[in-house]
Amino acid sequence: MDYFLLGVVFIVYFLMVGYVGYLAWKRTNSSEDFMVAGRETHPYIMALSYGATFISTAAIVGFGGVAGKYGMGILWLAFLNIIIGIFIAFVFFGKRTRKMGKNLDSLTFPEFLGRRFNSKFIQYFSGTLIFCAMPIYAAVVLIGAARFMESSLMLDFNVALLVLAIVICGYVLFGGLKGVMYTDALQGSIMFIGMLILLVFIYWVLGGVTEANTALTNMAHLYPADAIAEGGTGWTSFPRLGSPFWWSLVTTTIMGVGIGSLAQPQLAVRFMTVKSDKELHRSLLIGAIFIFVMTGSAYVVGSLCNVYFYQHFGQIAIDYVGGNMDSIIPTFISTALPEWFVYIFLLSLLAAAMSTLSSQYHTQGTALGHDIVDALKNRGKSDGISDEEIKESASSEETKIGFISVSQLGILIAVILSLIIGLALPGGIVALGTSLFMGLCAAAFLPVYCAALFWKRTTKEGAIAGLVSGTLTSLFLLVFVYKKTAVGLGICKFIFGVDMLINVMPWYSIDVMIFAIPVSVIFTVVVSLLTEPLEEKVISRAFNGLSKNGGK
């Protein structure tokens, strides 16, 4: 190992991160700066921040590892990410979120929902759900980066987790969302270049695009036996229709992440950071290219690792790494690529982890400080939100404990929680943890978020019913029905003496989102139609200046 080269690479990288973090700190002078980056973010920074937050080590290491074991069927997720996570998100959701967020002076996603429906409860509940659920997602992102540091630098896994968490905590704690977005833009640029080089390298070392893909197709007889038992048919073909693997791939991985991205709080708040729709239009193309290269490269490289390992070591990828999917991409990079590129790509993975984690920590911190503590403080007894309270909230300072705000304390707590969970989770958990969190967000927030943007007839009671029913349905199914989580948690076994309440295919293989979203939609619509509409002034406050297709 060339410690001098490694040292130079890391010093340069952390100097750059430190510098942009310092710039953000100098330019963070208000709660609006800390929460939504002053609402004047450059399109390039917004697009890369959105993309870098979207794509983490979960996509590169976790889903790349899934592709390494199961194959290229996961490429459908890349297309769904672009169509739903970028095009639909920016064109249909982004414009209205930006304009409504400004109308309502919202600084966070829970506050946006709460003010749209004139309900403090929605803000408290949403903030609590985010603060409690997101540490699992943060933990799997940490694991993804730490696994690469472990395999390439021979660094202890626990030490790698700690170092990553401390570095990220530093610039998020003091720079707020500006610090997050500035460093995201830098890290996103590094990620893009690293993944592009990796994609070109693997096709070059395997003899070209046609040769590499043909070789992978011809290796179908080596496909893992356990994957065949689940319904897999090869690395370049889709699983058998209706098999456990088909249901898991389609509902959990492809739909769970593809659709779930629309309701990610840390992504939705990015739309509130630009000053006009023009910036969103400019961000769209940049974001689409970024997502296409990042996800497509990870999934293709993960699958083709099988060809490389078999040609050089006589084993397929999952066997060569000892059964841990999360180690496939890191092991390939540290084994196949020149040492200097290992260090460069380490920066790409660190950038991927740090960009996503910084957003997660910031979102959790503001959920505790702004959406729970500050929202509960001095807001009167009713559940409604007056114009005076909105103006007062926009100009008020955050609650402080000593020399730090409650949001900063929330960031510290989030870091500690993700570390503890990261140490406790088993191997091969990165992709599943990401899918489950995004699915939970989709079930809890997506119907209500859509109603907030597009259906004026939605009532406060309907929104609460949809939010709570989606959340409770998801949690119930995760604990008692969905096999991958029910068996792992063991709660169903402890209470009822069986692993799952429904042990019949395909029910225990279908992602909880497929059931929970319709439940949330039904409750939102039915309860809204049965209750009194919101006051006209509340609706006008949110929709002021909005055209049918978006904002101005």
Which pLDDT score is estimated for 172?
Answer: 62
- In whole angstroms, what is the distance from residue 446 CA to residue 520 CA? 9
Task: Please name the residue that has the structure tokens 């709570």.
Answer: 468
- pLDDT single digits (tens) 495-533: 999 989 998 888 888 888 899 999 999 999 999 999 999
For every residue of 349-368, DSSP letters joined together read HHHHHHHHHHHHHHHHHHII
Q: Which residue has the higher pLDDT, 463 or 172?
A: 463
For the record, the structure tokens of 315 come out as: 């084993």
- In whole angstroms, what is the distance from residue 429 CA to residue 480 CA? 19
Q: Is 507 domain-assigned?
A: no
Tell me the β-bridge partners of 301: none
For residue 465, name the pLDDT band (cuts at 50, 70, 90): very high
For residue 24, name the pLDDT band (cuts at 50, 70, 90): low
Tell me the β-bridge partners of 465: none
For every residue of 376-395, DSSP letters joined together read HTT--SSS---HHHHHHHHH
Which pLDDT score is estimated for 489?
Answer: 75
Tell me the β-bridge partners of 404: 401
Which pLDDT score is estimated for 551?
Answer: 52
Task: Please name the residue that has the structure tokens 């927030």.
Answer: 445
Tell me the β-bridge partners of 401: 404
Q: Out of 21-30, 83-92, 139-148, 195-204, pick the least confident.
A: 21-30
How many domains does the chain divide into? Answer: 1
For residue 385, name the pLDDT band (cuts at 50, 70, 90): low
- In whole angstroms, what is the distance from residue 358 CA to residue 181 CA? 9
pLDDT (mean) for 451-461: 94
Percent of the chain's residues with pLDDT above 70 = 82
Contacts of 334-339 spanning 24+ positions with Cβ under 8 A: 334/148, 334/151, 334/152, 336/201, 336/202, 336/205, 336/308, 336/312, 337/198, 337/201, 339/1, 339/2, 339/5
Which pLDDT score is estimated for 224?
Answer: 92
Which pLDDT score is estimated for 389?
Answer: 63
SS3 401: strand
Per-residue burial over 352-368, b = 16 or more CB atoms within 10 Å of its CB, e = otherwise: bbbbbbbbbbbbbbbbb
Which pLDDT score is estimated for 259?
Answer: 85
Q: For 200-252, list the strands marked E by DSSP.
A: none
Percent of the chain's residues with pLDDT above 90 = 26
Which pLDDT score is estimated for 505?
Answer: 84
3 pLDDT more than 80: no
Q: Is 7 domain-assigned?
A: yes
CA dihedral 517→521→524→526, nearest 10 degrees, is: -140
For every residue of 506-530, DSSP letters joined together read TGGGS-HHHHHHHHHHHHHHHHHHH
For residue 157, name the pLDDT band (cuts at 50, 70, 90): confident
The whole-model pTM stands at 0.82
Which pLDDT score is estimated for 178?
Answer: 59
Q: Is 527 domain-assigned?
A: no
85 pLDDT more than 80: yes
Tell me the β-bridge partners of 405: 400
Task: Please name the residue that has the structure tokens 């630009």.
Answer: 274
291 pLDDT more than 70: yes
- Residues with Cβ within 8 Å of 179's Cβ and at least 6 positions away in sequence, in order, are 20, 21, 24, 25, 28, 171, 172, 358
For the record, the structure tokens of 444 come out as: 């809890």
Which pLDDT score is estimated for 276?
Answer: 76
Domain hosting residue 218, numbered range: 3-430
Q: Is 488 domain-assigned?
A: no
Which pLDDT score is estimated for 300?
Answer: 94
Task: Please name the residue that has the structure tokens 């490429």.
Answer: 75
pLDDT (mean) for 269-279: 78
214 pLDDT more than 90: yes
Taking residue 391's Cβ as centre, other Cβ atoms within 10 Å add up to 11
404 pLDDT more than 80: no
Tell me the helix, strand and coil percentages in the chain, rounded to 5. 80, 0, 20
pLDDT (mean) for 169-174: 63
CB 27 within 8 A of CB 45: no
The phi-psi region of residue 188 (left if phi > 0; otherwise alpha if psi is between -120 and 50; otherwise beta) is alpha
- In whole angstroms, what is the distance from residue 529 CA to residue 542 CA? 20
For residue 86, name the pLDDT band (cuts at 50, 70, 90): confident
With 0-12 / 13-18 / 19 or more C-beta atoms within 10 angstroms meaning exposed / middle / buried, residue 196 is middle
For every residue of 104-139, DSSP letters joined together read TT--SHHHHHHHHTT-HHHHHHHHHHHHHHHHHHHH
303 pLDDT more than 80: yes
- pLDDT single digits (tens) 332-378: 988 888 877 777 777 777 777 776 777 777 788 878 877 887 767 75
- pLDDT single digits (tens) 50-73: 777 777 666 777 788 889 999 998
Average pLDDT, the chain: 81
Which pLDDT score is estimated for 180?
Answer: 65
Which pLDDT score is estimated for 57?
Answer: 66
- In whole angstroms, what is the distance from residue 8 CA to residue 24 CA? 24
pLDDT (mean) for 229-238: 91
- In whole angstroms, what is the distance from residue 539 CA to residue 520 CA? 22
36 pLDDT more than 60: no
pLDDT (mean) for 28-36: 53
Which pLDDT score is estimated for 316?
Answer: 94
For residue 173, name the pLDDT band (cuts at 50, 70, 90): low
Q: Out of 165-174, 222-231, 366-375, pick the least confident.
A: 165-174
For the record, the structure tokens of 224 come out as: 């893992």
280 pLDDT more than 90: no
Q: Is 235 domain-assigned?
A: yes
pLDDT (mean) for 124-143: 85
Q: Is 508 domain-assigned?
A: no
Which pLDDT score is estimated for 340?
Answer: 76
Task: Please name the residue that has the structure tokens 């500006």.
Answer: 178
- pLDDT single digits (tens) 526-544: 999 999 999 998 899 889 8
CA dihedral 197→287→67→300, nearest 10 degrees, is: -40
Name the maximum alpha-carbon separation found in the chain: 70
Q: For 325-443, list the strands marked E by DSSP.
A: 400-401, 404-405
Q: Out of 141-150, 397-406, 437-446, 501-510, pick the least confident.
A: 397-406
For residue 491, name the pLDDT band (cuts at 50, 70, 90): confident
For residue 382, name the pLDDT band (cuts at 50, 70, 90): low
Q: Is 102 domain-assigned?
A: yes
Q: Is 24 domain-assigned?
A: yes
Taking residue 75's Cβ as centre, other Cβ atoms within 10 Å add up to 16
Q: Please provide the size of the chain in residues.
A: 552
CATH of the domain at 173: 1.20.1730.10
pLDDT (mean) for 84-97: 88
- In whole angstroms, what is the distance from residue 162 CA to residue 76 CA? 34
For residue 138, name the pLDDT band (cuts at 50, 70, 90): confident
77 pLDDT more than 70: yes
SS3 537: helix
